[in-house]
């Protein structure tokens, strides 16, 4: 039979064989610029808030550090630009290098180490406790963490009170010290020893709970296999737990370093820490004393800038070493 033409039939639509399979049908396309700017548009509001609350004060402090801005300039409203004179005064004297900087650095180093070690031990303890005991330990730790720094400082001052503190009574009963007692807050070493106890006691709960949360991600099969191979508890921690939790340790170490380098309340509120004993000042308290107590806002701002730079350098060096170790693995 011949070909029969169907009346009213429409010809089949032609197919462009040049289009790749699965090609997107033609339609309105969004401009690439809009797609690229969308994340920044969504972040515009919080970035603006951060800039107002953080960036402006930093810029203002840096600007003041190049000026002589005291009570006279506040009244007249005309500060004098002095260039690097404030920084020359800070770096030129021996007080920074012999007293303030060693106090700041050594205190922060021992505080970070003590906080990390105690927090790690508590986290490992929580891992081996039952639910009820674990909840009790976590609750007791959170009380120390939730206690305001002012309250915690006065508690430690009361414990080491030279006249009627618990430590003096205990040492007198043991015959270690005589009836004349001992003032712990006049000596540089004992002063910072009390400050270390205060800061570590206040900071370790954050480390412990953070590491305990990280411990739940460590596969128990790895510890079981290592235990069967005869590995000790320290070997299992160093070769299994620590490598898995390395990013967590990095975060808590950086945060602890920043917090402990700029510590202020725990030093300022202790006897002698408000300026009566110059041998125990750190960078934060020294900056406050120069700016607020002595009305040398330019000099105090220069010290604050120095503290900020030290924090940035330490954080950058630590992160660089951490990332370099990850690249070598």
- The CATH number for 160's domain is 1.10.3720.10
Note whether residue 245 is domain-resident: yes
Note whether residue 147 is domain-resident: yes
Note whether residue 188 is domain-resident: yes
Largest CA distance in the chain: 130
Mean pLDDT of 187-191: 92
Q: Which two tokens stand for residue 46?
A: 């919080």
Concatenated DSSP letters for 126-154? HHTS-HHHHHHHHHHHHHHHHS-HHHHHH
Q: Is 196 within 8 Å of 266 (Cβ atoms)? A: no
Note whether residue 1 is domain-resident: no
Note whether residue 49 is domain-resident: no
Number of independent structural domains in the chain: 1
State the Cα torsion 149-155-156-159 to the nearest 10°: 180
Q: Is 291 within 8 Å of 301 (Cβ atoms)? A: yes
Note whether residue 199 is domain-resident: yes
Q: Which domain holds residue 207?
A: 74-328
Q: Is 315 within 8 Å of 257 (Cβ atoms)? A: yes
Write down the pTM of the prediction: 0.78
Over the stretch 45-89, which tens digit does the pLDDT of each residue have? 888 888 788 888 888 889 989 988 877 877 777 788 888 999 999
Over the stretch 281-320, which tens digit does the pLDDT of each residue have? 999 999 999 988 888 889 999 999 999 888 888 878 777 7
Note whether residue 127 is domain-resident: yes
Q: Which helix (H) or strand (E) holds 67?
A: strand 67-68
DSSP 3-state of 81: strand
Confidence band, pLDDT 50/70/90 cuts, at residue 274: confident
Note whether residue 44 is domain-resident: no
Please name the residues in contact with 5: beta carbons below 8 A apart, sequence gap of 6 or more: none
């Amino acid at each position: 039979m011949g070909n029969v033409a169907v009346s009213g039939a429409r010809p089949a639509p032609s197919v462009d064989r040049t289009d790749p399979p699965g090609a997107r049908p033609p339609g309105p396309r969004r401009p690439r610029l809009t797609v690229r700017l969308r994340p920044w548009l969504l972040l515009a509001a919080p970035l603006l808030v951060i800039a107002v609350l953080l960036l402006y004060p930093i810029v203002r402090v840096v600007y003041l550090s190049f000026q002589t801005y005291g009570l006279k300039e506040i009244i007249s409203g005309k500060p004098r630009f002095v260039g690097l004179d404030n920084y020359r005064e800070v770096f030129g004297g021996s007080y920074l290098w012999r007293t303030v900087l060693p106090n700041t650095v050594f205190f922060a180093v021992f505080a970070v180490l003590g906080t990390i070690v105690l927090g790690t031990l508590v986290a490992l303890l929580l891992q081996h406790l039952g639910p009820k005991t674990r909840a009790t330990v976590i609750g007791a730790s959170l009380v120390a963490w939730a206690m305001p720094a002012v309250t915690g400082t006065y508690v430690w001052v009361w414990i080491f009170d030279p006249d009627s503190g618990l430590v003096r009574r205990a040492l007198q009963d043991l015959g270690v010290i005589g009836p004349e007692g001992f003032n712990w807050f006049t000596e540089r070493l004992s002063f910072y020893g009390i400050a270390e106890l205060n800061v570590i006691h206040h900071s370790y709960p954050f480390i412990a709970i953070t590491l305990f949360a990280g411990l739940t991600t460590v596969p128990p099969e790895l510890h079981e296999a290592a235990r069967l191979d005869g590995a000790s508890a320290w070997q299992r921690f160093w070769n299994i737990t620590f490598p898995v939790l390395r990013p967590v340790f990095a975060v808590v170490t950086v945060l602890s370093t920043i917090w402990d380098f700029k510590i202020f309340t725990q030093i300022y509120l202790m006897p002698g820490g408000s300026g009566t004993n110059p041998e125990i000042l750190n960078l934060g308290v020294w900056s406050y004393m120069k700016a607020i107590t002595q009305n040398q806002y330019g000099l105090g701002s220069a010290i604050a800038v120095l503290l900020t730079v030290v924090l940035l350098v330490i954080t950058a060096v630590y992160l660089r070493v951490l990332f370099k170790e990850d690249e070598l693995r």
